[in-house]
Structure 1
């Protein structure tokens, strides 16, 4: 509200870094009790939604510890992205997207969260679609050029994730072999 986008972004970046550090520390057995609440099965994998205001529903879910691991990661990234967009730096959303996706997928493995077949690829694809929508809405040619530098790696990552998941799904006989 005050237009202090960069200052608020620093706070969200620090929160994200601390969250990541807690997850990394869990590898050596230092797992805080609140982090164990995320170690159940993944039941929801909605994509990052970019909205200007924090929804009361999200805020209440955070307070009541009702968000899944991916929902909280998406919340942090969406707040960072919203601040970058408000600061007129949309290319930084695209630049930060791939590390965000890699980190979230890695954290799922670190926390040993059980994921339904195909859910991670679906989540990655949904997130990338949202991010590409932001890139496509850029009107300034310099910003558009900056965004375009990051779209190819995002598209490649989504293709790679979907290819791996499709090959895994063939074991479940969901798809006929000739489609794979």
Structure 2
């Protein structure tokens, strides 16, 4: 997903069936690039506990939860689905005067290096990533970052952008989707 491209084979933005620029709702993360997927650089790693917490947040009861876990699992009192460590980042209800902070963790699966972030902000949204760079010294090393969203120009409906981590060789992209309240 993070190595996909949002460009077509002529290096232009992917179009939808109406020949308009498509959005992540139409192309997801983009067209897969198998040669890049073999060496992604960074991954957004999820564990079994992450997926079980996902089910908890969707209201699964204890009996249902026990079908997915060999051990008795108790749902946490609070789990923020916005922090589900998935490459796509969606903020479904960003109000005009609020700030939404989302946390993600990436794992280095490539050589040591420093990744810089580049952001294409969704229209009318300020996006700040902290920190702006991640330095990895070994394979398997994890780094956490925060993405801070704020409305700068209210609009209706969904708006789209992306963030891209790059070490100069690898490009690790995450779609950003925001809906204003």
TM-score normalized with structure 2 length: 0.25
What is the TM-score normalised by the length of structure 1? Answer: 0.25
Higher helix proportion, which one? 1
Higher strand share: 2
